[in-house]
């Protein structure tokens, strides 16, 4: 028999029976939709206890520290797969056959270039514009290039949107960097893998031949896999909410990027490096830990804690290992920042404040150290996250629109403003 929950009222109003839904995995979910018809809403700022959709894409068990894409553990995908396969998996629900993979990679390659006029969009920015500001704008601007010809309710057209975004966002990210540097834009090189091509667009110049380092390319590809999706986080929920009105998908992705940019979300990787820079030396760790524990300081240990993970973020474990590989490859094993990060993690993990609140290092804690070692500047870190998350955003957007029951997202509120009052003419105000 299906489990239900009964809501009773202290004033004797009739109780309400609510169905309890159970997903493949995860906690039981009380379906509260019947409440609206009975004249009640629920209140959950920050959505700490609210499920917003059915989704078959990603599963997180925050207590156990598990992350699955379409049922596959992140560890298996990170070590045995590649970002192209994972993007296909997120979009289509299954790993591709060799033939399907070839066709997918071919299609992504076909879409890597930006419309020539998009260069003008870049050129409108100041040279010192933050790459995320440029990414949000240029990705949003894609909606001006691909709009009239698109029917988002046609699965084939949604697939083209997905391929265009996965293919073009690395070009947008790399060009945001090139524009900052005052270097010429580098066109995509379709003989290269996804990660290699990104490195080529970031680091090559017309003056010299460039061959991406395969160890670094593999590490980058792994980082892309780790960031590819993370169920209904702030940016993904933003993409879904924006897309729920039927809005242009490129504009929806831009809204997701804007949400990701914040320091509590994807902006944390940049904030971690700034924090380590400010710390400067291992001897100052206790001072920073004390500040993080002092609520009046307004300071948090960046790269620690997660809304869902109350155990080690499985991505952080893989990224720490990848960090070793990259630093070894670059002969930077004694990198003082890496040592400082390891020591900070060790000290925090022995501290009662962090233990009792289950605050563990998250995915952003080590990624910045890898990016910096590769020569990617701090201001580009969140752009790297956005690049990788594009596959997840577009898969979630596609899933939402494929659902015939999908509705426009429209939360309610508790109104705490003034009661009805009469309009006061300006000459009688303040009297
Ligand atoms: N440093 C110090 N204290 C912390 C931290 C931290 N990094 N994170 C949480 N806390 C404390 C918080 O003050 C609160 O303490 P108390 O119970 O005494 O009031 C308790 O832990 C619970 O925190 P919360 O703010 O209720 O937790 P949340 O689920 O709303 O926030 C978070 C999650 C990720 C926003 C938060 O942990 C945080 O600000 N972390 C630092 C930023 C960061 O690294 N973000 C990246 C997240 S992973 C990548 C991504 O999703 O983009």
Mean pLDDT (whole number) for 402-424: 95
Distance (Å) from CA 319 to ligand 1 centroid: 20
Residue whose CA is at the smallest distance from ligand 1 atom 36: 305
Q: Which of 91-100, 334-343, 380-389 has the lowest mean pLDDT?
A: 334-343
Give the integer Cα–Cα distance in Å for 51 and 73: 22
What mean pLDDT value characterizes the chain? 95
**C-alpha dist (Å) from residue 18 to 30, 63, 106, 318:** 7, 26, 49, 41
Q: What angle do CA 334, 198, 318 make, to 5 degrees?
A: 45
* Residue range 188-229, pLDDT digits in tens: 999 999 999 999 999 999 999 999 999 999 999 999 999 999
Residue whose CA is at the smallest distance from ligand 1 atom 37: 305
60-92 burial, b at 16+ Cβ within 10 Å, e below that, comes to bbbeebbbbbbeeebeebbeebbbbbbbbbbbb
Distance (Å) from CA 46 to ligand 1 centroid: 13
Grouping H, G, I as helix, E, B as strand and the rest as coil, residue 57 is: coil
Give the integer Cα–Cα distance in Å for 414 and 43: 7
* pTM for the predicted model, two decimal places: 0.92
Give the integer Cα–Cα distance in Å for 21 and 404: 19
Give the integer Cα–Cα distance in Å for 101 and 221: 16
pLDDT of residue 269: 87
pLDDT of residue 307: 87
Q: Encoding tokens for residue 386? A: 């956005």
Q: Which of 305, 316, 344 to mutate to test the pocket of ligand 1 (most atoms within 8 A of CB)?
A: 305
- pLDDT of 431 over the 80 cut: no
Kind and range of the H or E run holding 181: helix 155-181
pLDDT of residue 1: 78
* Residue range 234-259, pLDDT digits in tens: 999 999 999 999 999 999 999 999 99
Residue whose CA is at the smallest distance from ligand 1 atom 49: 265
Residue appearing with tokens 């078959």 = 56
């Amino acid at each position: 028999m299906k489990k239900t929950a009964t809501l009773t009222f202290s004033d004797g109003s009739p109780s309400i029976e609510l169905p309890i839904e159970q997903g493949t995995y995860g906690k039981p979910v009380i379906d509260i939709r019947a409440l609206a018809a009975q004249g009640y809403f629920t209140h959950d700022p920050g959505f700490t206890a609210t499920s917003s959709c059915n989704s078959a894409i990603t599963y997180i068990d925050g207590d156990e520290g598990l992350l699955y894409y379409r049922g596959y553990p992140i560890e298996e995908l990170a070590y045995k797969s590649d970002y192209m396969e994972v993007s296909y998996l997120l979009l289509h629900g299954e790993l591709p056959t060799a033939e399907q993979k070839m066709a997918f990679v071919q299609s992504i390659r076909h879409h890597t270039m930006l419309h020539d006029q998009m260069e003008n969009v870049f050129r409108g920015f100041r040279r010192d514009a933050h790459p995320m500001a440029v990414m949000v704008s240029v990705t949003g601007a894609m909606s001006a290039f691909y709009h009239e010809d698109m029917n988002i309710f046609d699965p084939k057209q949604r697939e083209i949107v997905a391929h265009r975004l996965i293919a073009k966002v690395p070009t947008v990210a790399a060009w945001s960097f090139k524009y900052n540097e005052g270097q010429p834009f580098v066109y995509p090189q379709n003989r290269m893998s996804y990660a290699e091509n990104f490195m080529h667009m970031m680091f090559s110049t017309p003056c010299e031949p460039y061959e991406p380092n395969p160890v670094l390319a593999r590490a980058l590809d792994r980082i892309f896999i780790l960031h590819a999706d993370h169920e209904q986080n702030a940016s993904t929920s933003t993409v879904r909410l924006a897309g729920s009105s039927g809005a242009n998908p490129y504009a929806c992705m831009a809204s997701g990027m804007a949400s990701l940019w914040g320091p509590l979300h994807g902006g944390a990787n940049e904030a971690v490096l700034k924090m380590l820079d400010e710390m400067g030396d291992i001897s100052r760790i206790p001072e920073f830990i004390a500040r993080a524990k002092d609520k009046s300081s307004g300071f948090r240990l960046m790269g620690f804690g997660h809304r869902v993970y109350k155990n080690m973020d499985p991505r952080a474990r893989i990224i720490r290992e990848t960090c070793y590989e990259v630093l070894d490859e670059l002969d930077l094993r004694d990198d003082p920042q890496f040592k400082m990060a390891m020591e900070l993690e060790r000290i925090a993990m022995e501290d009662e404040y962090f233990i009792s609140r289950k605050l563990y290092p998250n995915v952003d804690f080590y990624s910045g150290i890898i990016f910096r070692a590769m020569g990617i500047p701090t201001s580009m870190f969140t752009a790297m996250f956005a690049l990788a998350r594009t596959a997840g955003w577009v898969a979630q957007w596609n899933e939402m629109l494929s659902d015939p029951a999908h509705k426009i997202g429209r939360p309610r509120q508790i109104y705490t403003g003034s009661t009805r009052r009469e309009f006061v003419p300006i000459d009688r105000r303040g009297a």
